[in-house]
Amino acid sequence: MPAVGHPPVLRHRRRDGRRHLARVGEPDFATPWRITEAGIYALEHGHTTYTSNAGLPRLRELICEDLATRYAARYDPGTECLITTGVSEGLDLVLRVLLNPGDEVIVPEPCYVAYEPCVAFAGGTPVRVPTRWEDGFAVDPDVVAAAITPRTKAILVGSPANPTGAVQPREALEGLVRLAEQHDLYLVSDEIYARLTYAGGHTCLGALPGARERTVLLGGFSKAHAMTGWRVGWVCAPAAVAELAVRVHQYTMLCAPHVSQLAAVEALSGPDDDVAAMVADYDRRRRVFVKGLRETGLDCPEPEGAFYAFPSIRSSGLDSETFAERLLHAEHVAVVPGSVFGPSGEGTCAAPTRPRCRCWRRRSCGSTGSWAPCARR
């Protein structure tokens, strides 16, 4: 399996020792203090034990309440919700539960780099279906239908998406539900960026008519609450799937960290102002970032979700990998070639829409958020 990241970028970093203007897929905000303080309180009061395998009941209740309130997606916290060590573990668990050796999983691409390896680790076969830059990387149900075979077991989709920032239209998701009903398939929906949408509201796949009994929802706290290092995610699924996921989870991870679960309880039970402020800042920065890309001659739509831009670099006359390497060596700016995320990504590159200098939070260095290095470096 390929390493996470782009090998030429990693080699260049090791060789020259420079800090390049790029970040992995995580917020550049610290975890809101009220959440961090809840974690500190938990440590100080000895909440360092195991929890139940499925996770703290109160946290599962809050997750299910939040899904019902925001999206009208209804799950039983006692039998249909599992707390995982991040969404990555949730994805691994679900695929191991659903797949038999040789089962096929349809994966629209460009897609998050872990999707295909996780399918393979579970004994399945990932089947790529293309999406188009010109269509905003919307999934075409007709193209998906053409890829279905007797071995197809599931469709795996992420919306909002890493790395494209695409938010799947409701009509496209409804089309996937119809296909799943016609062919008796599961839908695995990675919705970790659900709170990070800008052009409209998020459509929860599990809330669509006909979807609930065949849909597995994946979510967590890493992105919206800036809690990547706390490692708390969740799976909501029909009871039979959730029960099997708990069985695998109890023998591989046992439970998510107790302290982190208590911090996540605070994230969902306290005020939501901090999330709103971060989303507003991401929204502002994506518009500034895309404007700057367009001014350099790169065509780039405004991402509707997440915090990535996916500009076309075809006007450069270079393929994605050559463009990324030249930009790295000439300007010390690291982007990821779009081809890393699937064949449909060729002719593009992926870049975070939040290239801050290290002291941006204090607003003390005069950085404008451009690709120019901070004067303090």
Q: What is the mean pLDDT of residues 130-134?
A: 93
Block residue for tokens 């390049």: 20
Q: Tell me, what DSSP letter sits at residue 54?
A: T
Listed by start position, the domains of the chain span: 7-31+273-358, 49-269
Q: What is the pLDDT of residue 200?
A: 84
Separation between Cα atoms, residue 309 and residue 301, nearest integer Å = 8
Q: Which residues contact 135 (CB under 8 A, 6 or more apart)?
A: none
pLDDT class of 5 with cuts at 50, 70, 90? low
Q: What is the pLDDT of residue 4?
A: 54
Residue 362 has pLDDT above 70, yes or no: no
Please tell me if the domain spanning 7-31+273-358 has the same topology as the one spanning 49-269: no
Q: What is the pLDDT of residue 332?
A: 87
Residue 375 has pLDDT above 50, yes or no: no
- Positive or negative torsion for Cα 55, 75, 208, 267: negative
pLDDT in tens, 249-299: 999 999 999 999 999 999 999 899 999 999 999 999 999 999 999 999 999
pLDDT in tens, 206-221: 999 999 999 999 999 9
| DSSP state letters, 167-208 | ---HHHHHHHHHHHHHHT-EEEEE-TTTT-BSSS----GGGS
State whether CATH 3.40.50.1820 applies to domain 49-269. Answer: no
Q: What is the pLDDT of residue 16?
A: 52
Identify which has the larger pLDDT, 9 or 351.
351
Residue 336 has pLDDT above 60, yes or no: yes
* Phi, then psi, of 129 in degrees rounded to 5: -125, 135
Q: 307-320 burial, b if ≥16 CB within 10 A, otherwise e?
A: bbbbbbbbebebeb
Q: What is the pLDDT of residue 356?
A: 52
Report the mean per-residue pLDDT for the chain: 89
Burial class (CB in 10 A: 0-12, 13-18, 19+), 323: buried
Q: What is the mean pLDDT of residues 326-331?
A: 91
Indicate the helix (H) or strand (E) that contains 79.
none
* Phi, then psi, of 348 in degrees rounded to 5: -135, 175
pLDDT class of 62 with cuts at 50, 70, 90? very high
Identify which has the larger pLDDT, 241 or 2.
241
Q: Which amino acid is at 124?
A: G
Fold for domain 7-31+273-358?
Answer: Aspartate Aminotransferase, domain 1 (3.90.1150)
pLDDT class of 353 with cuts at 50, 70, 90? confident
pLDDT in tens, 157-200: 999 999 999 999 999 999 999 999 999 999 999 999 999 999 88
Separation between Cα atoms, residue 190 and residue 158, nearest integer Å = 4
pLDDT in tens, 12-29: 454 555 544 455 678 889
Q: What is the pLDDT of residue 199?
A: 85
pLDDT class of 1 with cuts at 50, 70, 90? low
Residue 373 has pLDDT above 50, yes or no: no
Q: Which residues contact 187 (CB under 8 A, 6 or more apart)?
A: 154, 155, 157, 176, 177, 180, 205, 211, 214, 215, 216
Q: What is the pLDDT of residue 213?
A: 95
Q: What is the pLDDT of residue 354?
A: 66
Separation between Cα atoms, residue 17 and residue 21, nearest integer Å = 13
SS3 content of the chain, % helix, strand, coil (to 5): 45, 15, 45
* Phi, then psi, of 241 in degrees rounded to 5: -70, -45
Contact 224, 241 (CB under 8 A): no
pLDDT class of 307 with cuts at 50, 70, 90? very high
pTM, two decimal places: 0.89
Tokens of 43: 């440590």
pLDDT in tens, 88-97: 999 999 999 9
